[in-house]
Structure formats: structure tokens, C-alpha cells
């Protein structure tokens, strides 16, 4: 009787272990699929730029023309020798704020991705930008799903920084880590990043 119970308990343990392994694999696959779907939507936004900090209505009745000129004024003619073509420019679809309320972000679509890439890299290099006393910030226009996927790396990245690593969150949602010996490793999902951190904590 006793040996039967032990055998039964061992079988249950094995099944639980198998279920945990299967769940872990499915979770990784699910994360990868979410990244692929979000990536497809992200590609449609690849030429978009989001600007935060400009007052409502400053763009006037012709926003595309206004922002084409704004980039030249902010970044200088040594970066953009002339206003560049924008396919469209508009405020986000959130309700218009009351007077004195927080302004909505501006979403722009550049006609050429190379120009958008140049603008955002220059903005990041400079750090702080202003336009007529207004402090503004430039961001990639990620979809809500993509933002959620990228946010999942936040805890593991904080832990990696704490331990002296240099993680970098790549597009669409992958984590590149520079190891102490200079090698690089690429983690393709948040669950992979969590496992990597757990392994570090288990084997310091």
C-alpha cells in the first residue's frame, strides 16, 4: 500500500513538472506571437514621430507645413537644410483638453523614414529640446500593444542595471545584454529576460 502511494505521488510530481515545462514553453511562444503581431502594426507606424509638450493650436490651420518648418528651427540648418515633406500631422485622438489643461501629443508621419530616423536620433543626442520656451520631447510612435510588450522588460532591465550589466531594449521588443566579457546576448521575450535574471540571482 505504501509503495503504491509513493509511486502515485511520483507520477503526480512528474506530471506537474511536465505541465510546468509545457506552460513555460507556451508562455514563451505566446510572447513571441504577440511581438510578431505588434511588429506588424509597428511597421505601419515606422515613419511616425510623436511630439509631447507643444500647446494646443500652436500648429495653426496647416499643421504639416508648420511642423516641417519647426524641425529646421529646432535642429538647425546643419541637420536639416530645408523643410522636409510630411504625409500628415495631427493631434492624438484623445478629447481636446479644457483651457489650461495638458496638451495632446502631436503625431507626424514623415514621407521618408530616413528623415524621421535622423530627427529622432538627433533629438536623443541633444537630450532637451525647446521651441519658443516650450520644453518638448520626441518619441517613436509605438502602438499600445507594443508599449505593453516593451513595458514587460522594465523590472528585468532595472535588475540588470543594478547588477552592472548594460541592457538595451531593441525594436520591436527584444533585450540585448552586454556580458562582463564583452559578449552580447539577445533575449527575444520578457519571459526569457526574467529567466535570465533569475539565473543570475540563483548563480551569482
Strand partners, 138: 51
55: containing domain: 46-139
Same-domain pairing of 114 and 53 = yes
Specify the pLDDT at position 54.
Answer: 96
3-state DSSP assignment of residue 52: strand
> Ramachandran region of residue 6, left (φ > 0), alpha (ψ -120 to 50) or beta?
alpha
Q: What is the CATH number of the domain that holds 163?
A: 3.30.250.20
pTM of the full structure: 0.66
**Which ranges of 45-112 does DSSP label H, i.e. alpha helix?**
63-75
| pLDDT block averages, 10 residues each, the chain of length 204 | 65 77 74 74 87 95 96 94 95 91 95 95 90 94 87 94 89 88 90 92 74
Same-domain pairing of 98 and 32 = no
3-state SS of 166-185 is EEEEECCCEEEEECCCCCEE
**CB neighbours (10 Å) of residue 119?**
20
Last residue of a domain, one of 85, 115, 139: 139
Same-domain pairing of 50 and 118 = yes
User: What distance in Å separates the CA atoms of residue 146 and residue 36, rounded to the nearest whole number?
Assistant: 10
Amino acid at each position: 500500500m505504501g509503495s503504491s502511494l509513493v509511486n502515485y505521488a511520483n507520477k503526480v510530481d512528474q506530471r506537474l513538472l511536465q505541465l510546468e515545462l509545457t506552460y513555460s514553453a507556451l508562455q514563451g511562444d505566446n510572447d513571441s506571437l504577440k511581438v510578431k503581431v505588434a511588429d506588424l502594426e509597428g511597421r505601419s507606424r515606422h515613419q511616425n514621430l510623436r511630439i509631447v509638450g507643444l500647446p494646443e493650436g500652436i500648429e495653426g490651420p496647416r499643421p504639416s507645413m508648420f511642423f516641417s518648418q519647426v524641425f529646421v528651427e529646432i535642429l538647425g540648418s546643419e541637420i536639416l537644410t530645408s523643410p522636409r515633406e510630411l504625409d500628415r500631422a495631427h493631434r492624438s485622438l484623445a478629447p481636446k483638453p479644457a483651457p489650461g489643461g495638458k496638451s495632446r501629443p502631436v503625431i507626424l508621419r514623415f514621407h521618408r523614414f530616413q528623415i524621421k530616423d535622423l530627427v529622432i536620433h538627433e533629438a536623443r543626442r541633444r537630450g532637451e529640446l525647446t521651441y519658443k520656451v516650450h520644453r518638448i520631447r520626441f518619441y517613436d510612435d509605438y502602438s499600445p500593444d507594443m508599449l505593453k510588450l516593451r513595458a514587460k522588460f522594465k523590472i528585468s532591465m532595472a535588475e540588470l542595471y543594478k547588477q552592472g550589466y548594460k541592457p538595451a531594449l531593441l525594436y520591436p521588443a527584444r533585450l540585448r545584454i552586454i556580458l562582463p566579457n564583452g559578449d552580447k546576448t539577445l533575449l527575444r521575450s520578457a519571459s526569457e529576460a526574467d529567466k535570465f535574471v533569475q539565473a543570475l540571482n540563483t548563480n551569482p
